[in-house]
Structure 1
């Protein structure tokens, strides 16, 4: 207990330090548009960072890049220490007092949001407004002198200044754009967030950034037309802002923005996916447009994203060891992978899967239903046939001639750093169709806590809606296949609703079909990319790669850029400087991340070799698959009623969610919903109505 108290104290101190650094970073955003920043702060920062070694980029990196990377490193230590913390925690009075801040609201255009999200979004809009207004005031003070020097009217010069301020404000949105899509980030889980649940923030910021950049470009085209300087649009300013690079960046951004429109994204997902790869060219042209010095303002988020993207690339080069596939009667596939015992993940985690024989570029996320504690060598996901990719996979597996092997690659798993389901007295899990998958992982985690840790778990009511009775076969997957489940005393009640059938059909539901694969020697178990101490390894990668970048860019500035810039009216090429900086950035990340990845891969090679030896020493049925064979036998023989309190199937009706939720009288009730948008909004409306103060809403759906 004493050790746990010390760890909690250290984590609290780290969290407090990260908060102070972040508030200091926000303060720099507030001060930046003022005269104080340029007349007082910048000269001192230039002297502190050695202007001949880093140039103007030095103070910008000190103000905006270094603090965020330091927060990311602190987050790694915070999460590493969190692994040792006991996850079995009950609801505290402090957590219950914050229930109001987590109460859901339905806002048109934003969807389901909490009061905390509304407050933070409002503060960000206020920061953008302050940033815009501050720069307008700052540059309007010089508008008369500039209009005389450019031989134009004052209102035309003001239009020019408003145009540039709009672009600068868009850069503020771009600064935060990449944090929500950095899957392996240490910043999001430190705040209790996941990348999947934060996608909506990426959408908000992307819409706002592209709106500002579009206005920025439109204003400048208008300005060039009314001042008869349309030829400016074709100039590549090598020593200043490059208009052509900005236009190319804007075109790439518009292509991504248009294809992100919900109707286009859902109907033509491949078009949306492939168009989004234009972010590479968008960022390259953006840096060429504004110069690397000013780009350092948005560098930390993009830096962490690139780091994560490269680590994902390294992991995806490995061929995952796919053991079997189970075809359910409702066009649902269960894929079973072999995993390393060192790989652990929390409930509701997701993993991205790629099948090269279908598409080499498409990666699709799926919720993991297995439990890393109960099933230490098995990782299972459920895949529902809803699109072209999933339908192609189902057709491939259900063909009359069974496959001997299916090549697959994975990225992840990704999920919450901790779970807090035990803080509730009752959990009401509401799902629609395949939305039940995250709840299967939660139930299996609670089984582990109840049976192995001997801790009291909350009552569970699972409310699942299905279109027809064939989908009831999903309920067979609720219970884990380990023997631990037999001794579990979980208070679990299942209410299943079949909405499109009036009564139980007489014909028997077809049994599951299992396909076994013969892995090759190149197939390896899914293991942690950076080893068991992945957060410490990530902290080392971030620190070492940024140090390498600073050294390389510092010497480049000192011995290549500075000798040119110190001459009067002579400046080193912005394009060459930006290109060199991007090259150094990528080189430093590749060196640091590759070294760490290869080292951990070498450490994992022993376990992969043991699995391969087991296969070679086994008979026609692979020895390493014996546990999976036994699991299937147990799945067929274990009755669903053995542990579940009651299973009620209702035909031809939908659940009365309002009545069910309001009838529960326990002091703390977690209302977890995963399913269609209308279902999520209905549950959110009930929880926010104020008719019951004991309800706490949480959406676990990953559809966006």
Structure 2
């Protein structure tokens, strides 16, 4: 019943966007919006009810729902991850459901663009409609700008890491980023057309000054449009994949211009334009607030394990009460390396096994990771401070529903499977549910040094009898090494740098004698409380400001407080509500939690970090070759035809994922 309510509310929200370009919408809602002219909220209240309230309703009750009940059925999640397009020119490795949703979204944007333009063009060619004024460019430019509101309203949903909208269908943040890219491209295509149309209009009329000047005074709406267009172009160009891959730092820094873009949009569109897209923006603001509060707390790095010449494992102190799904990701910032850069990494520990630590494996590729390796290996640095956001993850319970699981990893792509294997061993030991009969891990790597990553799995320490209950096969393919090299190489050649133990006394003399641990903000109840407090605070602030400041001077006629003024006021109201009301709620929640369980790990927490690993054994090692995927998956396809369920999960380079997806589809 609850799921049906969510579907009904979301469908109504989408239906409102579908009907927006039609005359029927204006005949019904247009009259209501025009008549709703309250002293407290003005016309913007009606737009908030139509566009913001439904999403806030789903986000709030969605968090409550996920706190007590599981997400949507496994069949829906599986359909969302089954590949349909593998090597398309622009779109690759997307499922049939994703393709359908993308096509429907493009049709919605096309409908929002073409329908009003066609109606206006028909009226222009009708001799009886002489009241239509303005050249063709102005009409097309206006409607393209209006149509751009549709994708812009969806833009922030995929990048709100803690938002419950995508969590309801169990879509992880790392997968939803591509949806943000799709929506951003559609938005910028429409708004670039909007800007170009007006530029052509004013250039032909030799009135380019209208961009920033109207009637002898500065036009703030035009200035806002100019700034928004310039910043969007900068972000768009630097986000192109080749540029982003080669100049990630430039992409990262220029993308912070979204703050300028949002303010410029509010100045240009006014309060009614802002309300139409405010739902996703509010959830993004809440997400940024929670991430900021978590990032204010520094965390101690406990150890650094040098696995190979370009790979290392970093371990941090963790609050034992922090729980997160297997294969989660966290964002890491090392202030001594760079105060501004954040980088995502897969968490290799499992919160059901590793109570006091959280680890990530990092491969030194770019300048930031190389600087980090040099810093942690410097013997003068006895203490390393870190800032962590997350972990962020999604449930992988559905993987255990398969009889056979095939994990395919390439290089550092092994990291998501380490906590998943630990989770399987925990499930075997506790006997909580039925488990797969066989797990086959196929790992392609360059040299044998990286094999020590598997040492942290330690299945016998989790489940001593696992070998009798699970057929685990691990096949390693060393592409740049032969058997002779492996035989002549000394064992345990990696080095572990401890920031505890022998150096602990030095640490105590310089810093506080306690470890600062990771304490997550991944609480559905906390998210629900912050969302409710933020939106309730906005209603309070908006009502007071408009009733006692705006209305006495302007009387809702938009003369004194015009579009730029009302748009800026509305944006500041949302920001203030999230910061003041939502922030107060989050701070109070965190204070209560720390008082109850303690967020700082004492000296007694030192011992669990230094443990002897009991690594999992490899089934076989192949030298100087790569896996023969057609042969491997042919056998699994034969089992599947006999009714055995086989689940495949791949992580690694794009080419590896495409090869695995092609074999699965075949």
Decide whether aligned partners of structure 1 residues 409 and 523 sit closer, same or farther in structure 2, where only a CA change above 3 A counts: farther
2:520 aligned to which of 528, 532, 535: 528
Q: Which residue of 2 aligns with 1:314?
A: 293
1:470 aligned to which of 417, 440, 449: 449
**Distance apart, 1:510 and its partner CA:** 4.8
The 5-angstrom pairing of residues 499-510 of structure 1 reads: 499-505=479-485, 506-510=488-492
Q: Is the 8 A contact 2:322 2:519 kept in 1?
A: yes
Q: Is the 8 A contact 1:265 1:272 kept in 2?
A: yes
Matched, 1:416 2:394: yes
Q: Which residue of 2 aligns with 1:588?
A: 577
Matched, 1:625 2:613: no
**Distance apart, 1:580 and its partner CA:** 1.9
The 5-angstrom pairing of residues 287-436 of structure 1 reads: 287-399=266-378, 401-436=379-414
**Distance apart, 1:295 and its partner CA:** 1.6
Decide whether aligned partners of structure 1 residues 639 and 376 sit closer, same or farther in structure 2, where only a CA change above 3 A counts: closer
**Distance apart, 1:606 and its partner CA:** 4.5
Decide whether aligned partners of structure 1 residues 679 and 396 sit closer, same or farther in structure 2, where only a CA change above 3 A counts: same
Deviation track 1:331-384 (CA, whole Å, cap 9, x = no partner) reads 222111221222111111001110000100101111011111111222111111
Q: Which residue of 2 aligns with 1:179?
A: 157
Deviation track 1:490-538 (CA, whole Å, cap 9, x = no partner) reads 32100000112233411225533222225643752212326xxx21221
Q: Which residue of 2 aligns with 1:512?
A: 494
Q: Which residue of 2 aligns with 1:701?
A: none
Q: Return the TM-score normalized by structure 2.
A: 0.91
Q: Which residue of 2 aligns with 1:660?
A: 632
Q: Is the 8 A contact 2:212 2:219 kept in 1?
A: no
Whole-Å Cα distance in 2 between the matches of residues 269 and 44 of structure 1? Answer: 48
SS at structure 1 position matched to 2:315: strand
1:649 aligned to which of 621, 630, 643: 621
1:250 aligned to which of 229, 233, 238: 229
Q: Which residue of 1 aligns with 2:463?
A: 485
The 5-angstrom pairing of residues 77-476 of structure 1 reads: 77-82=64-69, 102-106=82-86, 107-140=88-121, 143=124, 157-235=135-213, 242-399=221-378, 401-453=379-431, 455-458=433-436, 459-476=438-455
Q: Which residue of 1 aligns with 2:616?
A: 640
SS at structure 2 position matched to 1:291: helix
The root-mean-square deviation of aligned C-alpha atoms, in Å, is 2.7
Whole-Å Cα distance in 2 between the matches of residues 43 and 17 of structure 1? Answer: 28
Whole-Å Cα distance in 2 between the matches of residues 284 and 177 of structure 1? Answer: 16
SS at structure 1 position matched to 2:349: coil
SS at structure 1 position matched to 2:327: coil
Q: Is the 8 A contact 2:211 2:222 kept in 1?
A: yes
Decide whether aligned partners of structure 1 residues 101 and 465 sit closer, same or farther in structure 2, where only a CA change above 3 A counts: closer
Decide whether aligned partners of structure 1 residues 62 and 658 sit closer, same or farther in structure 2, where only a CA change above 3 A counts: same
Whole-Å Cα distance in 1 between the matches of residues 377 and 189 of structure 2? Answer: 46
Decide whether aligned partners of structure 1 residues 389 and 568 sit closer, same or farther in structure 2, where only a CA change above 3 A counts: closer
Decide whether aligned partners of structure 1 residues 101 and 421 sit closer, same or farther in structure 2, where only a CA change above 3 A counts: closer
Q: Is the 8 A contact 2:410 2:444 kept in 1?
A: yes
**Distance apart, 1:570 and its partner CA:** 3.3
Decide whether aligned partners of structure 1 residues 146 and 420 sit closer, same or farther in structure 2, where only a CA change above 3 A counts: farther
SS at structure 1 position matched to 2:408: strand
Residues paired across the two proteins, number: 643
Deviation track 1:169-223 (CA, whole Å, cap 9, x = no partner) reads 2221111111111001111110110111111111111111111111111111001
SS at structure 1 position matched to 2:345: strand
Whole-Å Cα distance in 2 between the matches of residues 146 and 317 of structure 1? Answer: 65
2:30 aligned to which of 42, 45, 65: 42
Whole-Å Cα distance in 2 between the matches of residues 611 and 422 of structure 1? Answer: 35
Structure 2 spans left out of the alignment, 5+ residues: none
Q: Which residue of 2 aligns with 1:20?
A: 8
SS at structure 2 position matched to 1:79: helix
**Distance apart, 1:569 and its partner CA:** 8.4
Whole-Å Cα distance in 2 between the matches of residues 306 and 499 of structure 1? Answer: 46
Whole-Å Cα distance in 2 between the matches of residues 509 and 655 of structure 1? Answer: 25
Decide whether aligned partners of structure 1 residues 609 and 202 sit closer, same or farther in structure 2, where only a CA change above 3 A counts: closer
**Distance apart, 1:417 and its partner CA:** 4.0
Whole-Å Cα distance in 1 between the matches of residues 235 and 403 of structure 2? Answer: 45
SS at structure 2 position matched to 1:297: helix
2:566 aligned to which of 577, 585, 598: 577
Decide whether aligned partners of structure 1 residues 496 and 330 sit closer, same or farther in structure 2, where only a CA change above 3 A counts: farther
Out of 49-58 and 296-305, give the one that drifted further: 49-58
**Distance apart, 1:56 and its partner CA:** 2.0
